[in-house]
Amino acid sequence: MGPNQPTLADLEEIDWREWVCVTAALKYQTADGAAALLGVERSVRGRRWVERLDPCRAHVATAVSQAYGLPELLGRVLAARGAEPHTVDRYLDPSLRTLLPDPARLHDMERAAERFARAIRSDEAIAVFGDYDVDGASCVALIERFLRAHGRPCMTYIPDRLTEGYGPTPEALAGLVEEGARLILTVDCGTTSHAAVAAANATGAEVIVIDHHQAGEALPPAFAVINPNRQDDLSGQGHLAAAGVVFLFLVATTKVLRREGVYQGGAEPDLLGLLDLVALATVCDVVPLHDANRAFVAKGLKVLRLRHNAGLRALADAARLDEAPTPYGLGFILGPRINAGGRIGASQLGARLLACDDDVEARSIAAKLEALNAERKAIEERMLEEAFARAEAWVAASPDQPLIFLGAEDWHKGLIGLVAGRIVERFHLPAFVMAFEPDGTATGSARSLPNVDLGAVVRAAVEEGVFLKGGGHAMAAGFTLDRATCDSALAFLQSRLARPVALASANRELAIDGALSARGATLELIDLLDRAGPYGPGYPQPRFVFPSHRPMRIRGIGQAHIRCSLLAPDGARVEACAFRVAGTPLGDLVASGEGTPLHVAGHLRRSVWQGRESVELMIEDAVDPRGSDDAPIVLA
């Protein structure tokens, strides 16, 4: 034990008001001089624990706290997430007034807004083609509601994931033209749909693409392509979800219509009232909560509390969601239910629900989505059992592989993305999961590790003819390949992923904001942390370590989760839960650790049950401090 290491007695009275000095004491200097929190060089999940706040920014945390009269804990949380004394207001109150970018900075935005406004004024037939996930459904609902506010109808088309796949096809857009559409908006898709856009052009219709997926140099021949991730776009808004881009498009269109006198003597559309949909899409599409995205979520949660959207109101009731809206509720309760329609084979339901104003219809759709979500869970459970077994065999046979590459003929292609994500969680490698089709092709979905740009790799595979088609983001992508070329596709992926995966694996750290005891895990602390929210990707939930706490009253929840109470050295307790850990090293450690002192890391959340609030720790990692090569002894 190092000369400055605390004893267990020092940890007995850790309170959030004094956590900073305790956290500093818990650092442990390794042989190479790098600080590890509690000396944890390798946790049960293979992570090295480090303090999130860079020591070089400690003075910033102090300045933030002093300038705004904030507790030191909150100052450190803010500074660790990039706040400076002159920018704190943007973190404590992320407002659209200060964070909303000028829509005109996006390439083609003004051209597209002028065209859309002209279609509204001249009563042209407008159609919207959207994706089948939450972001796509939200985009469709945003435009449908905007047109409804102007007394204009809207044709909508959501492709069937199972029979049509992602993005517009020539046949789909031709069908919309046959129904009378003269202007077609593709939302959350269309950036790579060259043939479909050309087919629509040939009929005399015009297409506006509104998307956010990674783009190659060649763009489809659309009237306008609004995509902050197109290579010639200099707006710096590539972190927006598609719904965020659509919202900027509606702001720009409203400006055009206002300038042309459309609203003289009448009310403008309530764009702020649509932020619940933008927040939903931003959270569920797992985009970084930077700048405008934080404002979208913060203000959208306030709109959600009003329960004005009939569809979201009905879905929350069907899911028995009785607590105030949070990012957790959007991402883990409402989002999966909306996605269930697209995954199981009723792609239109999500967009219909979000655009719905009729309470009876909304309740009917919500009930269908609730049933489809239950069906999705059952199918996913069966797929996961087989996929995990095959992934374990893959890793055992090829332990140095930089990815996991799996496929099966009977896997549901609406769920392969979920399975890929779960494989990444368990095996810490990029996962490519495929459903083999009767025509000899394979439909695949891939998920990645932080700092491994999967979208770029998939796009390169398409450009070099390895994949028939594909695209996506840094962390998630979809693709199609010829099943006969699986071996060459694997070789291509291995060559492209070996180095970035090796670098990502060598730097597996768990950033921790401080040390707490169970006695300090209070609703008052959560209220304090909420002042710096909302949290999400790129703006992470504060994570704390609870040193030498003993799991007690350990019990399983279903077949995948574990719940327990963590007993502090001073006798205080905090309830804790570890999700989806059954059969993992973390799950095994907690399940077998009754009464054993463990260092446990995780984030706190407010739990509401029968109207009563309590604090719960969501366990993310743990280590047995009693000593091993992987968990050095650092406490007496």
Dist. CA 457–CA 434, nearest whole Å: 17
| pLDDT tens digits along 324-360 | 899 999 999 999 999 999 898 799 999 999 999 999 9
The DSSP symbol for 539 reads B
| pLDDT tens digits along 470-503 | 988 899 999 999 999 999 999 999 999 999 999 9
Q: Tell me, what's the pLDDT at 275?
A: 98
Q: Kindly give the residue spans of alpha helices, DSSP state H, lying in 430-532.
A: 454-463, 486-506, 523-530
Token output for 556: 């399983």
CB–CB of 382/199 below 8 Å? no
Q: Tell me, what's the pLDDT at 26?
A: 53
Q: How confident is the model at residue 628 (pLDDT cuts 50, 70, 90)?
A: very low
Q: Kindly give the residue spans of alpha helices, DSSP state H, lying in 165-274.
A: 170-178, 194-202, 242-259
| pLDDT tens digits along 183-225 | 999 999 999 999 999 999 999 999 999 999 999 899 999 999 9
Token output for 179: 């129904």
Q: What is the mean pLDDT of residues 569-589?
A: 93
Q: How confident is the model at residue 163 (pLDDT cuts 50, 70, 90)?
A: confident
Quick count: other Cβ atoms within 10 Å of Cβ 99? 18
Q: State pTM to two decimals.
A: 0.89
Q: What are phi and psi of 380, to 5 degrees?
A: -60, -40
| Percent of the chain clearing pLDDT 90 (strictly above) | 84
